[in-house]
Structure 1
């Protein structure tokens, strides 16, 4: 996934000691390298080739079992997987999909691309994930789905949105489907204790390079308890099968599935390291009065895909931008705004949602920045990054008072 350059400071990359964000999330060990070598060796036989069926089935079954879901279907990316879930809804003109305004653009582009009317909703002020109270206000008789994102690894209460949907049925299709974007929360747990992927109509995962587990840079998965949806997705990703159904080629490769099996076996270990590092950073910055830190949740409720910070209201916009520049220019620390309100990042979304009002999202996004974060940053570098954040905040406070 390319970085949206509108969300990063205008600083020469060579000035950054630490980049704006890591380009690899889940890391590889000798086990992943060995799995890949085995697949390459056996696939070199012309009788065998790269036919992926056996490996893909094993990966899907293991992933479904890990999540506690009935079914799992692999795709070549999380983006295409979400598009096919939305396609399975068979959206008609005027059908609405409600989603949080603070988000990566991909899910919202998918809604527009599949013919839905995207309805922006406000974020929760603590997690910046979808606010259930505001969502309820935006549901109508035309709502077909609630697209819920576990934003930056903070796991949302999926069951609460399922209950909300049940109270607001569509007159033809019944309760809106709860579709979960878990691209940044693979391996987490919801407040009910269920694994991410076990609740909702469909949960979409990404194994892109920066994600918590990765399959050679791309890949995705959809989990569901609905066997009809699972069957439809398998037809959609494989040219529609032998019948009259439309489909295309969106298969996960043999090599990706083999590496994915190893990554899945190590996912809890990698997530534990990420959580420990995030909690340590939060403790290190706890006395910086100007910063609002992410919630500290245990039991996999927050996987800290990024360690996001909020600056004071008085710094919104210009002050936040100055902090990002000071971090980069004076201290060599890269940071990113993850994520802006999506109409600001994509003209297509801005045109599609013209007239929609999300003032809370605007205010929160103007205060947001995410300094570089990864569990494999060395202890010495992590200490230096935290010290740089502290110093940069003090620098900005001299020119941007908070009162």
Structure 2
């Protein structure tokens, strides 16, 4: 098995553009005013920071936006996913299938909640979970399919819902489909539905880098399952008087700015999509680079703008391109994401023997140069020129 892969260039001290934006959803005067109002309204000792009304308003707005029946806030997307998996009461041997190309967080949550993580290959175009390979690795022990809308390329849930119905667990029935939408808030699926309306439950993250943010942390779960929604309310608030629970609440000030960010989400996503399409247009014609798919039947929100170098460049050529972009042009880039078992020792040990060669091959060709809607036109042109120049230079050494 390969050693842990580097995900960023070694030369970062002189970057003019970071390896990735530190903030995805940016703030305006409206967010500042909402935060100030929350501060002022909490000054009275009779009122304080109790967040019930503001949080409820944020949840109601999120259900209206997504079309889901229920939305529940959490202090992060990671804790929200932990609670979803806890609800399933996974027993020894219960399996959760997920794509090998992923952020480590979802896979660690499966392991922590007692499930056996089963890795499946990515689709070679979108790098989302491949339904054909998912069916290959499913078994009578499969309790859940954990599907990620990877880097903003919204996945089609229908094949996975069909898979679940065709492969029921002998005790619990069809495996549930859990959707990780941390990087796809505001997208639309091929069904024409807003991300969050399909599947058993969808998890959103409002961490700083995400498409909308609630002061750098925060999360949401949407679901159409009333029993799940009721249990999640207990879990995040110490369990009421009967059940286990803990404190995972979103604060009043986070909910207040979340309401504003949600109202601006489509505008921010449109700016991101426009910038990504601009970059794709400018880079079209560089034969050595495979550009991100447009996905005309759905909304790709371009959390990252992914590039794939030729197979002959995999690993060393890709790394040379990243290093050259950084050292000579100040352009940061990131491999987002390598297979989780290559970069995290716990996941590697847990999934021993489950190598995913397609995922490894694709990840070895992947890089994501910095992109953000607030980059100036001049900055964007400079970054594209750097990508073009460095690709040409690497091509002289690594022949596709």
1:221 — aligned with what?
Answer: 220
| 1:310-321 equivalent positions in 2, closer than 5 A | 310-321=308-319
How far off is 1:399 after superposition?
Answer: 1.1
1:276 — aligned with what?
Answer: 274
1:391 — aligned with what?
Answer: 389
Once residues 266 and 321 of structure 2 are traced to their aligned partners in structure 1, the CA distance between those partners, rounded to angstroms, is: 34
How far off is 1:298 after superposition?
Answer: 4.2
Answer whether contact 1:82 1:110 (CA < 8 A) is retained.
yes
SS state at 2:161 partner = helix
1:36 — aligned with what?
Answer: 35
Once residues 5 and 45 of structure 2 are traced to their aligned partners in structure 1, the CA distance between those partners, rounded to angstroms, is: 44
1:151 aligns with 2:143: no
1:364 — aligned with what?
Answer: 362
Once residues 33 and 5 of structure 1 are traced to their aligned partners in structure 2, the CA distance between those partners, rounded to angstroms, is: 40
TM normalised by structure 1 equals 0.97
How far off is 1:6 after superposition?
Answer: 3.4
Once residues 215 and 381 of structure 1 are traced to their aligned partners in structure 2, the CA distance between those partners, rounded to angstroms, is: 27
2:97 — aligned with what?
Answer: 98
1:259 — aligned with what?
Answer: 257
Question: C-alpha offsets along residues 296-347 of structure 1, whole Å, 9 cap, x if unaligned?
Answer: 1347520000001000000001110110000001111000000000011110
Structure 1 residue runs of 4 or more that deviate by more than 2 Å after TM superposition: 297-300
How far off is 1:159 after superposition?
Answer: 2.1
Q: 1:135 to 1:179 in 2, by over 3 A?
A: same
1:189 aligns with 2:188: yes
TM normalised by structure 2 equals 0.98
Question: C-alpha offsets along residues 35-64 of structure 1, whole Å, 9 cap, x if unaligned?
Answer: 000000110110100000000000001101
1:80 — aligned with what?
Answer: 79
**How large is the RMSD of aligned CA atoms in angstroms?**
1.1
Answer whether contact 2:306 2:367 (CA < 8 A) is retained.
yes
1:237 — aligned with what?
Answer: 236
SS state at 1:265 partner = helix
Q: 1:295 to 1:307 in 2, by over 3 A?
A: same
SS state at 1:140 partner = coil
Once residues 300 and 29 of structure 1 are traced to their aligned partners in structure 2, the CA distance between those partners, rounded to angstroms, is: 28
Question: C-alpha offsets along residues 357-380 of structure 1, whole Å, 9 cap, x if unaligned?
Answer: 311001000000000011110000
1:206 — aligned with what?
Answer: 205
Runs of at least 5 residues in structure 1 that lack an aligned partner in the other structure: none
SS state at 1:34 partner = helix
How far off is 1:234 after superposition?
Answer: 0.8
Once residues 139 and 121 of structure 2 are traced to their aligned partners in structure 1, the CA distance between those partners, rounded to angstroms, is: 16
SS state at 1:7 partner = coil
1:10 — aligned with what?
Answer: 10
Once residues 80 and 104 of structure 2 are traced to their aligned partners in structure 1, the CA distance between those partners, rounded to angstroms, is: 15
2:346 — aligned with what?
Answer: 348
Answer whether contact 1:187 1:300 (CA < 8 A) is retained.
no
SS state at 1:272 partner = helix
